[in-house]
């Protein structure tokens, strides 16, 4: 009997289940928005909220180590404590949101977008230096101006090749009516 068993395991062993949820949490910290199934998103949301709360409360060594136990990456822990947690300094909970997206084509699973409720805009690419653009434009102009040389031998080989149609297109005679529709 399954009385009072409220946890999901995503049909995985406990170690695989933990790895799946940790991986989803890492992806949310990196990309700030992921597309996943509804059940996975609901489970990952709990962990992401807990991790952000860790980063928000106190920036201590113990909190960083606890966050590292979930994220398994020093760069992600640094990003959590320096960039993501300060965005939620004035907020008490509700760090993530789940938005219905669509149904997956193969198995009709319900897909959702799991994202941070406050999304930091990605920095835009810097414009290139105009000197580099001018140099690249000059090189392209030189390539266009240079005439292509064709060898006489190559032209002769092309002339000797037989036509690709077999016997002048005899295949057209064997086409059936359904092919021509």
Q: Is residue 91 part of a domain?
A: yes
3 state SS of 38? helix
Q: Is residue 107 part of a domain?
A: yes
Sequence-ordered list of residues with C-beta below 8 angstroms from that of 115, at least 6 positions apart, any chain = 28, 32, 33, 34, 96, 97, 99
**Distance between CA atoms of 52 and 86, rounded to whole angstroms?**
9
Give the percent of the chain with pLDDT over 70.
66
The DSSP output letter for 84 is I
Q: How many CB atoms lie within 10 A of CB 36?
A: 21
> Which of the two residues, 181 and 72, has the higher pLDDT score?
72
CA dihedral sign of residues 105, 108, 109, 113: positive
**Distance between CA atoms of 152 and 92, rounded to whole angstroms?**
78
The average pLDDT across 124-143 equals: 62
> Which of the two residues, 171 and 103, has the higher pLDDT score?
103
Q: Tell me which residue of 81, 114, 117 sits closest to 99, measured CA to CA.
A: 114
The enclosing domain of 64 has a CATH number of 3.90.1030.10
Residue 20: give the domain boundaries.
14-116
Sequence-ordered list of residues with C-beta below 8 angstroms from that of 126, at least 6 positions apart, any chain = none
What are 119's two structure tokens? 């999304």
Domain count, the chain: 1
Q: Whole-model pTM?
A: 0.64
pLDDT in tens, 28-45: 999 999 999 999 999 999
Q: Is residue 94 part of a domain?
A: yes
**Distance between CA atoms of 38 and 133, rounded to whole angstroms?**
47
Least confident of 51-55, 134-138, 168-172: 168-172
Q: What is the residue whose two structure tokens read 């060594």?
A: 61
Helices (H), 58-167: 61-71, 74-79, 85-87, 130-145, 152-160
Q: Is residue 70 part of a domain?
A: yes
Give residue 1's Cα distance to chain centre.
Answer: 41
Q: Is residue 140 part of a domain?
A: no
Pairing of strands 96-103, 33-37: unpaired
């Amino acid at each position: 009997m399954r009385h009072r068993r409220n946890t999901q395991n995503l049909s995985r062993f406990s170690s695989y289940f933990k790895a799946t949820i940790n991986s989803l949490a890492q992806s949310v910290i990196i990309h700030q928005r992921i597309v996943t199934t509804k059940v996975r998103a609901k489970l990952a949301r709990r962990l992401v909220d807990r991790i952000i709360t860790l980063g928000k409360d106190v920036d201590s060594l113990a909190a960083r180590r606890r966050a590292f136990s979930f994220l398994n990456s020093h760069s992600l822990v640094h990003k959590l404590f320096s960039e993501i947690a300060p965005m939620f300094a004035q907020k008490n909970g509700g760090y993530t949101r789940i938005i219905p997206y669509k149904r997956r084509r193969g198995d009709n699973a319900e897909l959702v977008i799991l994202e941070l409720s406050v999304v930091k805009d990605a920095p835009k690419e810097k414009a290139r230096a105009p000197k580099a653009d001018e140099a690249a434009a000059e090189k392209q102009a030189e390539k266009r101006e240079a005439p292509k040389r064709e060898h006489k031998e190559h032209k002769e080989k092309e002339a000797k090749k037989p036509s690709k149609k077999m016997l002048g297109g005899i295949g057209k005679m064997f086409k059936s009516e359904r092919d021509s529709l």
